[in-house]
Amino acid sequence: MKLSSVLLGALLAVEASCAATPRADDYSQLQDLAKQAEDIAKAQLQAASSKRAPAPPGKCTLQNLQIRREWSTLSKEDRKAYTDACNCLAKKPAKTPAGVSSGAKSRWDDFTATHIAQTPTIHFTGSFLTWHRWFTWNMEQALRNECGYKGPMPYWDWAQTANTGLTKHPLFDGSAYSMSGDGAKVQQTGDIVLSQPSLPDIHLPTANGGGCVTSGPFKDWKVNLGPQQLSVPGGAIVGPPSGNPLDYNPRCLKRDLTDWVNRRYANASSVIDTIRRNSIYEFQGRMQGNLPLAETGGQPDIGIHGGPHYALGGDPGRDVGVSSSDPAFFLHHGMIDRAYWIWQMLDYYPRTYGDNAINGTGTFLNMPPSAPQTLDTVLSQQYVTDQSFKIRDLVSTTAGPFCYIYL
């Protein structure tokens, strides 16, 4: 308590001194906030260990803390090790019973089947941030424990790709050290149209891809499940051919890397504007693009969560439930989790365990209406893992099962 108020005081002093000096651009503001978050997290771990009590087994310390890093800062070898592990996991047998999902053929598909099945109870709910934090961590653990990957989950910094252009960035340049690049150019006619109750429709342009990914580590990747609700050019929404998104429907990975969408919804200012929101309601609402228009400057928005999903484009990029079948999903959710972590660290206790820690019910936009979720709500990710956790155990990146921060 005492420590955090000292840190908060220091933080406010930093902010005050910033206001007096010329204003840094939004990207460097974002890096400054990340640095503050890092310092606060490390000071907390330092304080916890300075009691000199032997740490209980499994406890997060400065010694075993993992640091998650942005893709382009990894060595080529480390990038290759990551994509090799993804391809390995896509060859391991599924744990999901065929009676639950006949299309789940691999361990990777266990993740997507879980994400599809739970889509109505993990998006626009109280659990959105913690569920996806744990999901991303479960992928990191599967890559490490089942496929020999040694590093932490990398992340996609959309504020960078908004500047460089997606295909110009090492993440999506299509090389052997990327997450593969754009899809082949196919004819796409009409916009992508997104609808939400009580908000105007949003029209997104298409770009220069739309077809199968042609180079890099994932050129032979298979999307086995879905579509569930795939937005296609012209405004239609396409469902599964069999009627069940968990059925087997193998197809290539399609992308339509769309700089316009990345720049419009997930540039550095969008990230800053999200992190500067005070309440969890505004923070996660700004992130998912479901705040009332009065709170988004009169323009409907899809937020820093929706923006990069639709900037990936294609199939499954434009399909909420199946989106985790594009390997880039987990790097996107790494950055979502990084924004959540930075936001939490800037006012740690209230935003982690206190009255600003959770807001929302257990159903998509509260449809159908359901009870508010709390820190005692239990989350499951069967058949990704047999473990289940209370949300309370998933709110800190340095407690519960977790021990990581971001650079």
Closer residue to ligand NAG (CB): 236 or 371: 371
258 touches ligand NAG (CB under 6 A): no
Q: Which two tokens stand for residue 359?
A: 């807001």
Closer residue to ligand NAG (CB): 153 or 257: 257
What span, in angstroms and rounded, lies between the C-alpha atoms of 117 and 245?
9
Asked whether the beta carbons of 313 and 210 are under 8 A apart, the reply is yes
364 touches ligand NAG (CB under 6 A): no
Check residue 54 and report its DSSP letter. P
Residues 103/106/112/116 CA torsion (nearest 10 deg): 30
Closer residue to ligand NAG (CB): 194 or 230: 194
Instruction: Looking at residues 173 to 212 of the shown chain, list those that interact with ligand NAG (rule: CB under 6 A).
Output: none
Contacting ligand NAG (CB under 6 A), which of 167, 262, 267, 398?
A: 267
Q: Which two tokens stand for residue 239?
A: 């469902």
What span, in angstroms and rounded, lies between the C-alpha atoms of 318 and 306?
9
Which residues, other chains included, contact 265 with Cβ-Cβ below 8 Å and sequence gap of 6+?
289, 301, 302, 303, 304, 306, 307, 308, 310, 311
The type of residue at 264 is: R
Contacting ligand NAG (CB under 6 A), which of 4, 270, 381, 385?
A: 270
What span, in angstroms and rounded, lies between the C-alpha atoms of 170 and 181?
9
CB hemisphere CA count around 407 (13 angstroms): 13
Closer residue to ligand NAG (CB): 78 or 273: 273
Closer residue to ligand NAG (CB): 33 or 179: 33
User: Within 10 Å of residue 177's Cβ, how many Cβ atoms?
Assistant: 20
Q: How many residues does the chain have?
A: 407
User: Shortest gap between Cβ of 353 and ligand NAG (angstroms)?
Assistant: 16
Contacting ligand NAG (CB under 6 A), which of 372, 378, 387, 407?
A: 372
Contacting ligand NAG (CB under 6 A), which of 120, 273, 365, 380?
A: 273
Binding mask 277-316 for ligand NAG (x = CB under 6 A): ----x-----------------------------------
Contacting ligand NAG (CB under 6 A), which of 151, 240, 313, 360?
A: 360
269 touches ligand NAG (CB under 6 A): yes
Instruction: Looking at residues 124 to 143 of the shown chain, list those that interact with ligand NAG (rule: CB under 6 A).
Output: none
Binding residues for ligand NAG, per CB under 6 A? 263-264, 267, 269-270, 273, 281, 359-361, 372
